[in-house]
Structure 1
Amino acid sequence: MRQQPQSIADFREQARRRLPRFVFDFIDGGSGSENTLAENRSALDRHRLVGRAPVDVQACSQSVTLFGRDYSMPVIIGPTGLAGAAWPRGDVDLARAASKAGIPFVMSTAATATMEEVAAAEAGAKWFQLYIFKDRAVSARLIAKAKALGFKALEVTVDNAIPGRRLRDARNGFSLPFRWTPAKLASLAAHPAWSMRMARAGAPRLEVMAAELGLDEADTIAELMQSQLDPSVGWEDIKWVRDAWDGPLIVKGMLDPGQVAKAVETGVDGLVISNHGGRQLDGAVATIDILAEFRAQAGSRLTLLVDSGFRTGSDIARALALGADAVQVGRATLFALAGGGEAGVRRALDILKSELEIAQMLMGARAIQDFGPAMLRSPRPLRAPGTVPEAAAIIPAAPAAGPLSLVAEKRQGVLP
């Protein structure tokens, strides 16, 4: 009997064993050379945590308030398309696990369940991720349906003017509906448990998009999205969504802190700092490296969420210290979903909560609001090729206008 996964890395390895290669690569892969995918991990590792003792951490809390609602920890299950390829009715299982953990679940427009099914899954908060389609009437219908079904927030993805070139999918011939080749059939034979689940449940399909766009098939996911998404989307379109949606509005896919002023002007409530998990722009900046600049620009005017590469409680602590209000996870819960449906996702969330608690207590943060930039150190770059790197630099208190000081001021309630 194999041991239960003890980390998200364990869940990833379990998914690699249990899923056919073309499905695992769809979940695990990035765009181009997968440089951004690798940099997300490297950048997180560069930010080192500072243990703080002695501090009385006997009574610690992970509770957080987002858009006026209280949640058990600063974690959100972010939108992930085609979750049903990992486990039948995967979107519903993700929603149920999030509800039981007391955190939000963001349903993807590229979900493999209907909006009605997800809305009815447990009583927890569901948010809806929206694409702005070439046919604006489709997006308008989705907004209206999300409102009618009680979704609490709308998350508009904007970093998809053109899909990234995902080489693993191209090499594997990943398509919807699945098209069977000798290699794929051999992979099915090597993964009988997955094959039997899919045979009983039926092949996954993009239920929301199929219902709204009448889609039957496409050569690849990237080509499907390219045929339907609008590269002309700008802030005027976000304003159109703002006018149609009276709940919290979040814009996902932000990497340029210079866009913050426009977001505030447009009436956006929050941003997700994201490089799409390394699946869009190859060579993009890691989100953890740009986070403090966003907080500097936003102050306390926007709720800042962050995603792309977060796999441990220590990763979440790093983001909180640099000014994030919460972290969205994607692959972490998909790997867990592949390992055991809702039960796997619940275990993965328990692991993240436990890891965050360890980081929190050892860093002396009794509450999430106690995290700040003084709890991190980052090494300076090399002076020149071949020279010895300087000693790790202490992140300073920074001048008043600096990004890190603004993080601290927001945490202390100084900013308006």
Structure 2
Amino acid sequence: MQARLKRTANIDDLRAMAKRRLPRMVFDYIDGAAGDEATARRNRGAFERLLLRQDILVNLSVRELGTTLFGDAVSLPIIVGPTGMNGAYWSQGDLCLARAAKAENIPFVMSTAATTGLDALRGAAGPLRWFQLYMLRDRGLAEALLARVYEAGFRVLQLTVDTAVPGRRNRDIRNGFTLPFRWSAGKLADAVSHPRWAMQMLRAGSPTLALFAEAVGPVPKGATISDVMQQQINDAFVWEDLDWLRQCWKGKLMLKGVASAEHARRAHAAGADGVVVSNHGGRQLDGTASTIECLPAIVAEAAGRYPVLVDSGFRSGTEIAKAIALGADAVQLGRATLYGLAAGGEAGARHALRILADEFDRALALTGATSISELRGRVENVAR
């Protein structure tokens, strides 16, 4: 496994390795997006319209890649973002990702849709552990969950605000991707043709939404992921309700799914301590702008008063450098680390992070910058 990982040069290589290892229905759950997947493609294509500017004859012998987020020093402007169903890609996938983030001294964000329980995750994650919340219909259950999360040492909460109604993901519908796995002759044949994955799942058992079950009770069997989420997510939570959440949560609060300066302004006015510019990797509303297109206006609105993070579509350190140059404080990763996880577990996730760190370091240096602050502004948009 280690030898195969070492031969992977970039995240696309890890994606290819993950595709070979996983059955189609599982790979498509990582790789797919909503509708015709136009937003997912736009997330990727928008990076090409941004060009980094270079300086030359600069002393680059000492470079600093680290930064601070909510007062905590981190080694890179990178966060392992919240993703669900990670146990379907590798046994104890959430723990693998948490350990990888801890090893690289960067934050890990636990998802409400995690396939491991809160206590196990707390034991695996480092001190930079954050939590992502899908607002539950039952406020009492939500408040109890948040109390447990805070008691477990999670100090930053990301409320996802772009998933009141789950996106329609055609690949999952076609593949019949359900909880727990529901097998047909075709899916069994596909699983058998991926023996390493199949043997691991036989030993570990079918993944479940363990944290969801801890919070709200047993998850309905035979339901798609979207079905489960739709039954439990509060689709009537509005701006005025943020005051209730602000009172419940003692730590830092971020809104994840912000895509306009107006919404960033309202979030800050409502007591949010920061925002995540996100379109859920194109997995929610299809046909929207890319996050890198939305980023500059939101950075301008924030004007350094609160952190602005960004996710969706990032697969190289150069793309991360472009976001930092545009003013983002850090980039959250989704599929990039999941491809590494699916390819090689914790070692694969760490390999993905190291690839991105090396690419980011080289992009930083080749622009003539020696720190994140020097990288600011070294980018131009050629789309006219």
The TM-score range, normalised by the shorter chain, is over 0.9
The answer on whether the counterparts of 1:132 and 1:230 sit within 8 Å (CA) in structure 2 is yes
Please identify, of 213-222 and 114-123, the stretch whose mean Cα deviation from structure 2 is larger: 213-222
1-structure distance, mates of 2:81, 2:356: 15
Note the aligned Cα RMSD (angstroms). Answer: 1.1
Residue in 1 that maps onto 2:315: 311
Could you say if the C-alpha distance between residues 335 and 120 of structure 1 is closer, same or farther in structure 2, counting changes exceeding 3 Å?
same
1:239 to 238, 243, 255: 243
Once the two structures are superposed, residues 260-291 of structure 1 have per-residue CA deviations (whole angstroms, 9 ceiling, x without a partner) of: 22111111111000000000010110000110
Residue in 1 that maps onto 2:211: 208
With the length of structure 2 as denominator, give the TM-score of the two structures: 0.97
2:161 to 158, 162, 170: 158
Residue type matched to 2:101 in 1?
Answer: A
2:271 to 267, 271, 274: 267
1:358 to 325, 339, 362: 362
Is 1:101 matched up with 2:104? Answer: yes
Give the 5 Å matches for 1:13-412: 13-214=16-217, 215-373=219-377, 375-381=378-384
Residue type matched to 1:95 in 2?
Answer: A
The answer on whether the counterparts of 2:181 and 2:222 sit within 8 Å (CA) in structure 1 is no
Once the two structures are superposed, residues 285-308 of structure 1 have per-residue CA deviations (whole angstroms, 9 ceiling, x without a partner) of: 000011000011111121000000
Residue type matched to 2:120 in 1?
Answer: E
Aligned length: 380
CA drift of 1:122 comes to 4.6
CA drift of 1:259 comes to 1.2
Once the two structures are superposed, residues 213-263 of structure 1 have per-residue CA deviations (whole angstroms, 9 ceiling, x without a partner) of: 222424211111111111111122222111111211111011122112211
Residue in 2 that maps onto 1:411: none
Unaligned runs of 5+ in 1: 382-416
Could you say if the C-alpha distance between residues 103 and 380 of structure 1 is closer, same or farther in structure 2, counting changes exceeding 3 Å?
closer
2-structure distance, mates of 1:72, 1:127: 16
SS in 2 for 1:109: coil
Once the two structures are superposed, residues 5-51 of structure 1 have per-residue CA deviations (whole angstroms, 9 ceiling, x without a partner) of: 11111110001100000000001000000000100010011101112
CA drift of 1:211 comes to 1.9
Once the two structures are superposed, residues 338-395 of structure 1 have per-residue CA deviations (whole angstroms, 9 ceiling, x without a partner) of: 111111111111111100000000011211111222x1122243xxxxxxxxxxxxxx
The answer on whether the counterparts of 2:258 and 2:264 sit within 8 Å (CA) in structure 1 is no
Please identify, of 279-288 and 250-259, the stretch whose mean Cα deviation from structure 2 is larger: 250-259
Residue in 2 that maps onto 1:386: none
Residue type matched to 1:101 in 2?
Answer: E
2-structure distance, mates of 1:224, 1:289: 32
Q: Highest Rg: 1 or 2?
A: 1
Identity among equivalent positions (%) equals 48
Find runs of 4+ consecutive structure 1 residues off by over 4 angstroms.
none
Once the two structures are superposed, residues 297-329 of structure 1 have per-residue CA deviations (whole angstroms, 9 ceiling, x without a partner) of: 111121000000000000000000111000000
SS in 2 for 1:128: strand
1-structure distance, mates of 2:383, 2:195: 50
The answer on whether the counterparts of 1:98 and 1:124 sit within 8 Å (CA) in structure 2 is no
Could you say if the C-alpha distance between residues 333 and 71 of structure 1 is closer, same or farther in structure 2, counting changes exceeding 3 Å?
same
With the length of structure 1 as denominator, give the TM-score of the two structures: 0.89
The answer on whether the counterparts of 1:131 and 1:139 sit within 8 Å (CA) in structure 2 is no
Unaligned runs of 5+ in 2: none
Residue type matched to 1:165 in 2?
Answer: R
2-structure distance, mates of 1:250, 1:346: 26
CA drift of 1:182 comes to 1.1
Residue type matched to 1:241 in 2?
Answer: L
CA drift of 1:152 comes to 2.1
Residue type matched to 1:195 in 2?
Answer: A
The answer on whether the counterparts of 1:18 and 1:338 sit within 8 Å (CA) in structure 2 is yes
2-structure distance, mates of 1:129, 1:218: 25
Residue type matched to 1:20 in 2?
Answer: P
SS in 2 for 1:120: helix
The answer on whether the counterparts of 1:210 and 1:216 sit within 8 Å (CA) in structure 2 is no
1-structure distance, mates of 2:125, 2:112: 20
Residue type matched to 1:86 in 2?
Answer: Y
SS in 1 for 2:159: strand
CA drift of 1:139 comes to 1.2
Once the two structures are superposed, residues 41-84 of structure 1 have per-residue CA deviations (whole angstroms, 9 ceiling, x without a partner) of: 10011101112112111110011100010000000000000000
1-structure distance, mates of 2:125, 2:150: 17
Residue type matched to 1:100 in 2?
Answer: A
